[in-house]
Amino acid sequence: MVNDSTIALRNLVFNYPGSERPVLDGINAVIKNGEFLAVVGPNGSGKSTLARLICGLLRPSQGQVLVEGLCTVDPRNRIEIRKRVGLVLQNPDNQIVAVRVEEDAAFGPENLNLPSKEIHYRVNHALEQVGLIHLKDRPPQLLSGGEKQRLAIAGLLALRPSFLVLDEPTSMLDPLGRRGVLDVLRGLSGEGMSVVLITHNMDEATAADRVWVLRDGKLAADGTPGSIFSDPVMIRNLELDLPWVTRLANALAGYGLNVPAGIVNTDDMVCFVCRLFKQPS
């Protein structure tokens, strides 16, 4: 029995037309409601394809994607799936449609034919969630890249989706823009939103509850950031970049200071070093 509040991938296979090798090759997994999932893996490992399959933009060659029990292959489910899964793309300029920030965020709910009071309420709330409420009368082209991505997220939030899928939303942003987007995602996740973040940046992945590593179309690893990034053999085999904290842990080991496995984010590492200095050794 499928749990109604998950996205279930069942023996998922995807081939692009005319290509022999499947991009995704037999993925079985479940994305739980309310979890913050990061998907990492080298170029060509199928990350972006997976994002498009999850939100029903692409249909599986074999197997199934079930969004809260709805199969993405069935055309009758398509509108319902669009409401439940929102997708943010890499390039912030490609997803802005209106001439004012507020109108842009309202585009989705307007198309749902909601009463204007409801639209107003949803848009204001969404813009507050992404920290853009003070810019609601601004033309979007005057926003920075990071602000545009947050606007794209607000436009989806106004649709009240169950899942937010983001395909490398920060790769074209400067570091402060990245941090702003990531802070918004962390905040949303804290409020119970399900977030699927496709990323090349391992430091972003350490912010998630769970990490999937894709490689050659297969799910090569699935675990907490701590278990994945603390495993040197896995890191080497999967040719992943290391998060900064893991690099620091490795360097410290070289100076005879051993950091316990599982420390992969900055706050934990700061705590560890503080304890190191305060405890009698």
Partner 1 sequence: MFCMPFVQTTKLTHIYFKGTPLETVALKDIDLEIPEGEFFALVGASGSGKSTLVQHFNGLLQPTSGRVSVFGDDISTRINRNSLWSKVGLVFQFPERQIFSSSVYEDIAFGPRNLGLDENEVKHRVETALKDVGLPAGILQIDPATLSGGISRRVAIAGILAMQTPALVLDEPGAGLDPQAKKQILLALKRLQLEKGTTIVLITHFLEDVVDFAGLVAVLKKGELIASGRPKQVLAQPELLLGAGLEPPFPVAFTRKLSSKGVRLNSSPVTIDDLARAIQRTYQNTGPGDR
Q: Which is nearer to partner 1, 136 or 148 (CB)?
A: 148
d(CA 177, CA 180): 5
Task: Tell which positions 23-42 bind partner 1, by CB under 8 A.
Answer: 42
Task: Tell which positions 225-244 bind partner 1, by CB under 8 A.
Answer: 241, 244
CB of 75 to partner 1, least distance (A): 32
Q: Residue type at 89?
A: L
Task: Tell which positions 40-59 bind partner 1, by CB under 8 A.
Answer: 42-43
Q: Which is nearer to partner 1, 60 or 145 (CB)?
A: 145
Q: Which is nearer to partner 1, 68 or 167 (CB)?
A: 167
Give the x-and-dash track for 251-270 against partner 1 (CB under 8 A): xx-xxxx--------x--xx
CB of 146 to partner 1, least distance (A): 9
The residues near 107 (Cβ < 8 Å, ≥ 6 apart) are 97, 98, 155
CB of 89 to partner 1, least distance (A): 12
Buried b (16+ CB within 10 A) or exposed e, 215-230: bebbbbbeeebbbbbb
CB of 276 to partner 1, least distance (A): 6
Query: In the chain, what is the greatest distance between 2 CA atoms, to the nearest angstrom?
Result: 66
d(CA 100, CA 232): 48
Residue whose structure tokens are 């082209």: 141
Residue whose structure tokens are 């003070």: 134
Is 172 near partner 1 (CB under 8 A)?
Answer: yes
Look at the alpha carbons of 64, 70, 76, 81 in this order and tell me if their dihedral is positive or negative.
negative
Task: Tell which positions 185-224 bind partner 1, by CB under 8 A.
Answer: 200-201
Structure tokens at 221: 């690893």
Is 138 near partner 1 (CB under 8 A)?
Answer: no
Size of the site for partner 1 (CB under 8 A): 33
Is 142 near partner 1 (CB under 8 A)?
Answer: no
* DSSP conformation letters of 78-102: HHHHHHHEEEE-S-GGGG--SSSHH
Q: Which is nearer to partner 1, 56 or 145 (CB)?
A: 145
Question: Is residue 99 within 8 Å of 140, Cβ to Cβ?
Answer: yes
Q: Of 141, 190, 192, 277, which lies in the binding site for partner 1, with binding defined by CB under 8 A? A: 277
User: Among the candidate windows 66-74, 154-162, 186-194, 273-281, which touches partner 1 by CB under 8 A?
Assistant: 273-281
d(CA 196, CA 185): 10
Look up residue 35 and give its DSSP letter: -
* DSSP conformation letters of 46-68: SHHHHHHHHTTSS--SEEEEEET
CB of 171 to partner 1, least distance (A): 6
Side-chain half-sphere CA neighbours of 1 within 13 A: 3
Q: Of 176, 187, 232, 237, which lies in the binding site for partner 1, with binding defined by CB under 8 A? A: 176
Query: Which residues of this chain interact with partner 1, rule CB under 8 A?
Result: 42-43, 90-91, 144-145, 171-172, 174-176, 179, 200-201, 241, 244, 247-248, 251-252, 254-257, 266, 269-270, 273-274, 276-277, 280-281
